Amino acid sequence: MRLIDVTEETWARLTEAAVEAMGRAYAPYSGFSVGAAALTDDGRVVSGCNVENAAYGVTLCAECSLVSELFATGGGTLRAFVCVNGDGEPLAPCGRCRQLLFEHKGPELLLATPAGVLTMEQVLPGAFGPEDLS
């Protein structure tokens, strides 16, 4: 699979879903709303928003709710991912969420970032993953 396999139309659709999710964020402490959306390998679109907590460290990133929706709607793996800030612009997923996404990536997960479309290997090179446990 190559970068070209995810069309501009798909990226636009994912960005739209991420912006919609961002509008449902609960971010009263940071004031920084985040939305994320991804295409699954079987063609579903899953999304999520950040959900903060008065105990700041308990905050759920948008990617956490996206992964939860991935499983709640049937599981599978992720093919293309986008994360947006409150202005709907691409946002780099935080380090913890890169690890979270790595676990659920398909054969080649592509991520739309401020630096352009990157592979999972590019955003988290040499990652620790499930295979390291065997």
Catalytic residue IDs: 63
| Residue number with CB closer to ligand THU (39 or 83) | 83
Q: Torsions phi, psi of 87, nearest 5?
A: -95, 5
- For residues 70 and 57, give the distance between their C-alpha atoms in angstroms, rounded to a whole number: 23
For residue 108, what are its two tokens? 């080649």
| Residue number with CB closer to ligand THU (97 or 124) | 97
- Which residues contribute to the site for ligand THU (CB under 6 A)? 27, 30, 32, 34, 50, 52, 59, 61-63, 83, 93-94, 97
Least separation in angstroms between CB 22 and ligand THU: 9
| Residue number with CB closer to ligand THU (27 or 117) | 27
Distance of CA 24 to the CA centre of its chain: 16
Least separation in angstroms between CB 88 and ligand THU: 14
